[in-house]
């Protein structure tokens, strides 16, 4: 799930000398990217059918469920979200943690709507829901300082709940900005959330 003013095309762009995320991941597994309704494509209008704006996190999650069902995608699978898309991935983690089981959340917009994600985390903890998920959280060290600070705070809150089925990893990528962090974060995240499957053949010494 791409950021707020981003589309699926963002996953096929890369900085010079770097492979784009979509091609890199597609080299070893099926990967799907989609446009949330109403998101522009660069400077061009959205490719989706018109929908009332703004949409809520719940709307975006409902769209994701509908997409998964329509495309016949087997679950569980890995949810990857960056920036505003990372906020939606966080929403999924806090409301349906066991549905997708593996989450890669990169530079999520935890500041959004007066840090509503923290209120949702408090509510999830109060419900005492057992979470069964492997979660990789990441952010660039050169982003707005609020981004790594908020993510560390969120990680520490989740960790403090001592949920037996919730495995958490936090990584801050040095020398990376908001727009440059997600290729490396996705690669590291995939290796982290699938580590229980053992090393891949190309990892052999």
The pLDDT profile of the chain, 205 residues, written as one tens digit per residue, is 766 666 677 767 766 777 777 787 788 778 888 877 777 776 777 777 777 777 777 788 888 888 889 888 887 789 999 998 899 899 999 988 777 889 999 999 999 889 999 999 999 999 887 678 999 999 999 999 999 999 999 999 999 999 888 999 999 999 999 988 988 898 899 889 987 544 444 443 3
User: Which pLDDT belongs to residue 27?
Assistant: 80
Position 184 scores a pLDDT of 87
pLDDT at 65: 86
Predicted pLDDT of residue 197: 44
Architecture of the domain delimited by 8-133+142-180+190-196: 3-Layer(aba) Sandwich (3.40)
Is the CB of residue 167 less than 8 Å from the CB of residue 177? no
- The whole-number pLDDT of residue 17 equals 76
Domain boundaries, the chain: 8-133+142-180+190-196
- In this structure, are residues 180 and 140 in contact, taking their beta carbons and an 8 Å threshold? yes
Phi, psi of 198 (to 5 degrees): 90, 170
**CA 48 → CA 7, 9, 53, 167, 194, distances in Å?**
11, 14, 13, 36, 33
Cis check: omega of the bond before 54, within 30 degrees of 0: yes
Give the C-alpha separation, 138 to 80, whole Å: 11
* CA atoms of 103 and 100, how far apart (whole Å): 7
Pairwise CA distance, residues 106 & 171, whole Å: 10
């Amino acid at each position: 799930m791409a950021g707020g003013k981003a589309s699926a095309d963002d996953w096929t762009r890369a900085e010079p000398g770097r492979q784009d995320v979509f091609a890199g991941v597609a080299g070893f597994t099926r990967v799907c990217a989609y446009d949330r309704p109403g998101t522009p494509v660069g400077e061009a209008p959205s490719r989706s059918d018109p929908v009332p704006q703004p949409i809520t996190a719940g709307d975006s999650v409902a769209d994701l469920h509908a997409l998964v069902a329509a495309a016949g995608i087997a679950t569980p699978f890995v949810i990857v979200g960056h920036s505003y898309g990372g906020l939606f991935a966080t929403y999924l983690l806090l409301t349906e943690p066991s549905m997708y089981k593996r989450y890669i959340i990169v530079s999520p917009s935890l500041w959004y709507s007066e840090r509503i994600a923290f209120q949702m985390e408090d509510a999830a903890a109060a419900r005492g829901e057992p979470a069964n998920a492997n979660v990789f959280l990441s952010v660039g060290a050169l982003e707005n300082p609020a981004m790594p600070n908020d993510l560390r705070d969120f990680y520490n809150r989740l960790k403090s709940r001592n949920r037996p089925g919730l495995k958490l990893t936090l990584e801050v990528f040095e020398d990376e900005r908001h727009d440059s962090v997600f290729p490396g974060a996705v690669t590291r995240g995939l290796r982290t959330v699938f580590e229980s499957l053992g090393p891949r053949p190309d990892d052999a010494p």
